[in-house]
A and B are shown apart, each in its own frame.
Chain A
Amino acid sequence: MRQHRPSTLIAELSYQCPLHCPYCSNPLDIGGEKYRRELETEHWIRTFREARRLGVLQLALTGGEPMLRGDLVELCAASRDAGLYSSLITAGTLFTRERAEALKSAGLDHVQISIQSPNADENDRIAGNRSFEKKIAAARLAKQLDFALTINCVLHRQNLDRIAEVLDLALELGAQRLELANTQYYGWAVANQEALLPSPKQLRRAEEAVQRFRERVGPKVDVLWVLPDFYEDLPKPCMGGWGRTAMVVAPNGDVLPCHAAATIPGLEFANVREHPLEWIWSSSDAFVRFRGTDWMQEPCRTCPLGRQEVDWGGCRCQALRLTGDAAATDPVCRFSRHHDRVISARESAQTDEFVYRTMKRPVRN
């Protein structure tokens, strides 16, 4: 099979973050020993160069909060030198004028700022700290400095009904993109599933609001809205297929095929301190294990719809979480014999209480 070239490198620079979002995609053991030693500047810079040679075009500087890295400006300059297009994925609270200007001169292309809700109090409650005003100031500053600007809002039961306000806020801030990301259930979101899962009715109303906005505003704001796969009966190609388009580098230098791959037991991750990125992409255990279709079991192996190379069997981490087997068909799929588990999760008991993201593992899990 022809091997694909990656187009995206997701660089998780640090798991430290001043916010405590209950749906954070970071692993539950962010405070653990294995993430303590963050990758040194020179390893990141070499990784960026190797990534470009592999075919990577897009670099996402993320975390945790990437602005907590003291060498961020240097890393942005290195990204530009390597020929990559760089995006800073930030909560915005540390985006001061001085640093923003330095990032601009270093060649940072695009800034994505997350808001937790368009309502200040609700934003601060979800984020677990007072951050709304700083985020808005950051978005205005990014605009002033002529960065491409995306506003991101992770959606769930407790903020979905405000979607029209989110859309209007993005328009008012002059964002050219709005990413409406329905919560994905991995990382901290798993511990908070009962507080986050929306009702089908909420999703339908939100979808209609997005449609109306698109008709009214046109291409000025590019609205990305994806229905959460939990509410569908055929899975999505997770990360564009395992080991096909993207690589995630954790703060300690481990390279993963997706954010949540560390939850899969027995998967071995190679580290950029020890191996060239090229080898990690083409030959490391973690990337090879679920690449292509050879690993598939039934029903994927003889899929009635022939979708093996469309959805690549769905999400491995979701398969593991809901069936106990990472090589099973994603139970979102209607052909999975565990599909009823997805259906019953949609109707699971509800609470408004969050388990906030901290550097300590949650008690409830």
Chain B
Amino acid sequence: MTRPCLATGARLRYDEVREEHLLLVPEGAVRLNRTAAEVLELCDGERSLDEIVGALSVRYARADLRDDVRRVVDAMAARGLVVDAAA
């Protein structure tokens, strides 16, 4: 995965009613924890995986978040919800 981006039609949204982060997809919604929501927000098809990790590390005082980012991106890609913009 070089430059991950959300699949066509997938849209991030914070649901004020249920107070949770969601990835809205055709006829469904995937519940996200805060980390997953932050990772997916950075999956814009421009940034590489390294750049996503970098951006998050700055936010979280340099903690190495590589594994977390990988896990989120891989899990979403397996469901077809994240695709590679470079492919």
A-side residues, CB < 8 A to B, are: 5, 7-8, 52-55, 57-58, 60, 83, 85, 87, 109-110, 112, 146-148, 150, 176-177, 219-220, 222
Q: Which of B1-49 contact A (CB under 8 A)?
A: 7-11, 13, 15, 17-18, 22, 24-29
Complexed CA–CA distance, A60 and B29 (Å): 14
* Cβ-defined contact, A147 with B9, below 8 A: yes
Pair A177/B26 contact, Cβ less than 8 Å: yes
Q: B61 an interface residue at 8 Å Cβ cutoff? A: no
Per a CB cutoff under 8 Å, which of A7, A52, A58, A176 touches B9? A176
- Contact residues, B44-67 vs A (CB, 8 A): none
Chain B contacts for A7, CB-based, 8 A: 29
| Closest chain A residue to B22, Cβ basis | A57
Interface string of B56-87 (1 = CB under 8 A from A): 00000000000000000000011110000000
B8 touches A146 (CB 8 A): yes
Residues of B within 8 A of A220 (CB): 80
A55-B80 CB under 8 A given contacts A147-B8, A148-B26, A150-B26: no
How far in angstroms is the closest Cβ of chain A from B3?
17
- Which residues of B are in contact with A by a Cβ distance under 8 Å? 7-11, 13, 15, 17-18, 22, 24-29, 77-80
Cross-chain contact B29 with A57 (CB below 8 angstroms): yes
Contact B7 A176 (CB under 8 A): yes
Q: Is there contact, CB below 8 Å, between A222 and B80?
A: yes
Q: Are B26 and A109 in contact (CB under 8 A)?
A: yes
Identify 8 new A-B residue pairs, CB closer than 8 A, beyond the known A52-B17, A177-B26: A55-B17, A57-B22, A58-B29, A110-B27, A148-B8, A176-B8, A176-B9, A176-B26
Bound-complex Cα distance A93 to B28 (A): 26
**Complex alpha-carbon distance, A222 and B15, angstroms:** 25
What residues on B are CB-neighbors of A148 within 8 Å? 7-10, 25-26
Alpha-carbon separation in the docked complex, A8 to B13 (Å): 16
Known: A110-B9, A176-B80. A87 touches B26 (CB 8 A): yes
In whole angstroms, what is the CA distance A146 to B9 when docked? Answer: 8
Q: A87 with B80: in contact, given A53-B17, A109-B9 (CB under 8 Å)?
A: no
Contact A110 B26 (CB under 8 A): yes
Shortest Cβ gap from A54 to chain B (Å): 8
Alpha-carbon separation in the docked complex, A147 to B26 (Å): 10
Q: Which residues of A contact B9 (CB under 8 A)?
A: 109-110, 147-148, 176
Report chain A residues within 8 Å CB of B29: 7, 57-58, 85
Q: Which 9 A-B pairs have the closest CB atoms?
A: A148-B9, A219-B80, A85-B24, A110-B26, A55-B17, A148-B26, A148-B8, A110-B9, A57-B29
Chain A's closest residue to B29 (CB) is: A57
Interface centre among B7, B9, B22, B24 (most CB of A within 10 A): B9
How distant is the Cα of A85 from the Cα of B77 in the complex, in angstroms?
21
Query: Are B27 and A87 touching (Cβ within 8 A)?
Result: yes
Given contacts A110-B9, A148-B26, A150-B26, whether A57 and B15 have CB atoms under 8 Å apart is: yes
**Shortest Cβ distance from A53 into B: residue:** B17
